[in-house]
Structure 1
Amino acid sequence: MQSNEPPRKTPGERATIHDVARLANVSPATVSKVLRGLGAVKAESVARIHAAVRELGFRVDPLAANLRRSRRSIVGLIVPDFRNPFFGSMVAHFERLAEGSGYRLVTVSSAEKTEREAAQTEALLDWRVAGMIVVPTDGRPAAEASLLDQKVATVLLDRVPDETGFDRVSVNNVEASAAVIRELVARGHRRIMLGPSSLDLTNMRDRVNGAVAAAQQAGIADDIEVLLCGPDVPSALEAMASRFDRGGLPTAIFTLYSPATLAALREVERRGLVMPRDLSIVGFDDIEWMQVTHPPIAAVIQPVQAIAEVAWAQLMQRLAEPGGPPRTVEVPCELDLRGSVAGPRA
């Protein structure tokens, strides 16, 4: 007969399933059945177990539970920066999808650092995750070898490499950017500046390449300027201010990520310029504040919910059917020109 005295715990020490069993005077296996809703257990035993759980403040250890199950229940998600509204919105959609599929989502940030992405990946693999969704820092997963060696179902998102052994989901960066240039050219613009963060990222290269290809078709490729704005808001502010200081501004700016859009707007405001009379601006990504500025900022809208749903569906299919070649899906964007675009001043 087990003692049903409450176990003595040091402050901060977590109660175990054995502590619950001892207090409820049942076996640990019986506690596990009750907590998982399995098997037939006497009503009085169930009542004692729930009372013991409440008294001890017992909580299931998700890692231990995941290790015991034949079906792993944790999915890891790595994004570059929680502060970026695009990734913040994406995380919210993935949380909803995970809950609806019976998985628990563990989300971490790489902070735009390759070494940190590798460390975060290894930490998630230690949790024996069922699968991974990764937005790579520089186009390829930093811990690619580990993901392949452990045969973990993985979907690469947004910044996807040209060739990989993993499933990929992105938007149609090339065509979406080309569409912006065609619209600007149709309104009479020739001198257009592009604002990517870096040409090291595959999504940025694709956006620049799509814009330049459309400019070549329009015969204005020599008038396209590319301003590298860096990884974040401070670097974008510095790059944009320096460019405006030099003068000789283009008639239109196409910023290829949201920090560059914010930086361009700050310079327009600081220098007393008026959109779209003095300068037309289009941003890649549609952040909420872009819809309420005066005028509202034209945007290439990435359908974040659709992107998340496609990526989640890819992961679920890969978990159900581990074999087969990697799959690639491009989700189409939408262009909303709003009020920040007009023809150049005569």
Structure 2
Amino acid sequence: MTVPLSILDLAQIAEGATAAESFASSVTLAQRAEEWGYTRIWYAEHHNMGSIASSATSVLVGHIAASTKTIRLGSGGVMLPNHSPLTIAEQFGTLETLHPGRIDLGLGRAPGSDQNTMRALRRDPSAADTFPQDVLELQGYLSGQTRVPGVQATPGAGTNVPLYILGSSLFGARLAAALGLPFAFASHFAPQALLDAVSIYRREFQPSEQLERPHVIAGVNVIAADSTADAQREFHEAKRRRVSLLLGRGQQFTTDESEAILNSPASQQIGQMARYSAVGTAREVSDYLDWFTGHAGADELIVATQAGSTDAWLRSFELVAGTVQPVAA
């Protein structure tokens, strides 16, 4: 495999566990991922989700950075319409000042929440409409070439924190191409537009100060285990947990209820989300990732695993690293 391999850490709170335990697991993963040769780890902004602890994304990035030495860390992503560009420039400018050369800033325009949570965030539903302009404003603060007269990001100005556009549609592909930024496609949960989005991004890409040529990061689900049977069992349990997350609206289904839903037409969305999933032994996962890299036209893969226990989660990333042997970005 000839592309860099990175990690999306969903900062999951396991059933019966706490957010503090989730953060401790994320630190352990980052420290080991450094040793295993992964390129970067990203954390995603989610709100009002009892099983995900990465809502204060920049704070979590800072905590992990203080416990590691070399691995790149960042957001995958910050949902920019939830924030002012100046605030994000100051947060990530601070992170880059404290941990120079290690910070990424991935940006998305989705709310990362439901309608009630959007209101609790004081977010205007139309905020996503100005996402392109907000990205440019943020870029201006970080480059020291502000687009708002008399307003500078301190810290932030001149740090040139690299920006990445995250997306699951053609909109993000076109924006990333127009701005000359790397494009990360969320094919690990929204695979439908992957091929069209990558094609458009590469065709329309305009070189920029940050990036001379297109750079595609594609998301893929991974569950690696010491046996195929163990990996398939973890994968099935992950789908059952996703049933509760997506269809339960806060309600925890019993095992029988989850199985009934998975065997009904209502599970079609779950199956679609998991279309790109590498499941099996290290060799089986490696073969799948080789195929997926070519299929997606990816320059880098970012892998997410939803293994149920911390041990299985860490083992999955370790097995992938040991076989794929990621290369430097």
Asked if these proteins are the same fold (TM beyond 0.5), I'd say no
Larger Rg: 1
TM-score, normalised to structure 1, is: 0.29
The higher-RCO structure (CA 8 Å, 6+ apart) is 2
